[in-house]
Amino acid sequence: GAVVSQHPSRVICKSGTSVKIECRSLDFQATTMFWYRQFPKQSLMLMATSNEGSKATYEQGVEKDKFLINHASLTLSTLTVTSAHPEDSSFYICSADPPGTSYNEQFFGPGTRLTVL
Amino acid sequence: AQSVTQPDIHITVSEGASLELRCNYSYGATPYLFWYVQSPGQGLQLLLKYFSGDTLVQGIKGFEAEFKRSQSSFNLRKPSVHWSDAAEYFCAVGGGTDKLIFGTGTRLQVFP
C-alpha cells in the first residue's frame, strides 16, 4: 500500500523559534497532500491542502503566515510553524491521496508531536 | 453541511466480546465513508471504506461496517475483540471535495 512518512516524529522547541515538519510520499507521487492538527483526545482538524507547484489552500481560521506550507516536489510537502508558542503544541499529521486510488482515499503519516516550551 | 457524529466517546469491552462503534453522518449526496484506527502517538490506519455497492463492507483485522442510508449510519463491528484492538477509532466522510470530515472519535478499551 501507499506509504507516507513524517519527520521528525517528535520535536521540542523554545517559544519564538520556527519548526519545520516534512511529509513524504515514499512510493508514489502526490500532487495533493493534507495537513491536519490533532489536540489531545480530540479529532483531526484539517489545516490546509498542499498543492504541488501552487499555493496551499488554508481552512478558515488557520493563519497562513504562521503555518507555512511548501509543496516543493511530488513527494515532499513541508509545514513550518513560525514563531512557535506553547499554544501551537499539538500532534500534526499529514496525508496524501495517491493517484489511481478511489476518491478521497487518503493515506496518513505517523504524525509529529510538537512541544513548544 | 457535512458532519460526522460518533456518539460514544469511550467504550469498554472484555476480550472476546463483540463490538459495535456507532457513526452517523450528515451529507447531501451519497457519501464516501471511512473508518480509521489510531494507536497512541501514531497516525491513522484505514480499516475499511464504503463508496458504493454492497452495503456491508469488510475491512482489515476482522472489522466490518454496514452502510444504512435510511439511518445515515455506518457502524463498525467486530464479532470478537482482541486486546490489541484497544485504540481510538475515527469515522470520516468525504464527498464532492477532497476534504475528509472526521468524527470526534471513540476510545476503545479492552479488558482481559
Q: How near does any CA of chain B get to the CA of A111, in Å?
A: 5
Residues 49-108 of B with CB under 8 A from A: 49, 51, 90, 94-95, 98-100, 102-105, 107
The C-alpha cell of B36 is what?
Answer: 480509521
Q: How near does any CA of chain B get to the CA of A15, in Å?
A: 23
Chain A hits for B44, Cβ within 8 Å? 44, 93, 95, 108
The CA distance from B69 to B103, in Å, is 18
Q: Could you give the 3-state DSSP secondary structure of residue B10? A: strand
More confident position, B74 or A32: B74
Chain B hits for A107, Cβ within 8 Å? 46
Over the stretch B41-69, which tens digit does the pLDDT of each residue have?
Answer: 888 999 999 988 899 999 999 999 999 99
Pairing of strands A107-108, B3-5: unpaired
pLDDT at A102: 60
pLDDT tens per residue, chain B (112 residues)?
A: 788 999 999 999 999 999 999 999 998 777 899 999 999 888 899 999 998 889 999 999 999 999 999 999 999 999 999 999 999 999 999 865 557 889 999 999 999 8
pLDDT at B43: 85
Instruction: Name the CA dihedral angle for B33, A23, A72, A81, rounded to a multiple of 10 degrees.
Output: 100
CA A74 to chain centre: 15
pLDDT at A17: 97
* Residue A104: pLDDT over 70: no
pLDDT at A39: 84
The CA distance from A57 to A21, in Å, is 18
Nearest CA in chain B to A35: B99
The CA distance from A48 to A29, in Å, is 19
Tell me whether residues A6 and B43 touch, CB distance under 8 A: yes
In chain A, % of residues over pLDDT 70? 96
pLDDT at B95: 65
Degrees, nearest 5: CA angle A70-A76-A77: 35
Average pLDDT, chain B: 92
The count of residues in chain B is 112
Which of B3, B27, B32, B42 to mutate against chain A (most A CBs within 10 Å)?
A: B42
Tell me whether residues A97 and B44 touch, CB distance under 8 A: no
pLDDT at A43: 86
pLDDT at B62: 97
Pairing of strands B106-111, B100-102: unpaired
Tell which residue, B6, B17, B21, has the closest CA to residue B108: B21
Q: List residues of A whose CB lies inside 8 A of any B CB.
A: 4, 6, 32, 34, 41-46, 49, 91, 93, 95, 97, 102-111, 113
Q: What is the DSSP string of B37-56?
A: EE-TT--EEEEEEE-SS-SE
Over the stretch A47-102, which tens digit does the pLDDT of each residue have?
Answer: 999 988 889 999 999 999 999 999 989 999 999 999 999 999 999 999 998 777 66
The CA distance from A80 to A82, in Å, is 6
Are B104 and B19 in contact by the 8 Å Cβ rule? The answer is no
